[in-house]
Amino acid sequence: MAKYGKSAAKSVKSTMHRRKKGTLKSGSGRTVKSRKQAIAIGLNEAREKGAKVPPRKSSGSRKSSGSRKSTGSRKSSGSRKSSSRGAKKR
The pLDDT score that the predictor gives to residue 68 is 56
In total, how many domains does the chain have? Answer: 1
The dihedral through the CA atoms of 16, 7, 5, 45 has a sign that is: positive
pLDDT in tens, 45-84: 999 999 999 998 887 665 555 555 556 555 555 555 555 5
35 beta partners: none
Contact criterion met (CB below 8 Å) for 43 and 9: no
Residue 88 domain-assigned (yes or no): no
Q: Which phi and psi (to 5°) does residue 13 adopt?
A: -60, -40
**Is residue 71 in a domain?**
no
pLDDT of res. 26: 94
Residue 35: which domain range? 1-54
Mind spelling out the 3-state secondary structure of the chain? CCCCCHHHHHHHHHHHHHHHHCCCECCCCCECCCHHHHHHHHHHHHHHHCCCCCCCCCCCCCCCCCCCCCCCHHHHHHHHHHHHHHHHHC
Residue 31 lies in a domain: yes
| pLDDT at residue 14 tops 80 | yes
Query: Is 22 inside a domain boundary?
Result: yes
Amino acid at 1: M
pLDDT higher than 80, residue 12? yes
Q: In this predicted structure, what is the pLDDT of residue 18?
A: 97
Residue 84 lies in a domain: no
pLDDT in tens, 24-52: 999 999 999 999 999 999 999 999 999 99
Task: Say yes or no to pLDDT of 90 above 80.
Answer: no
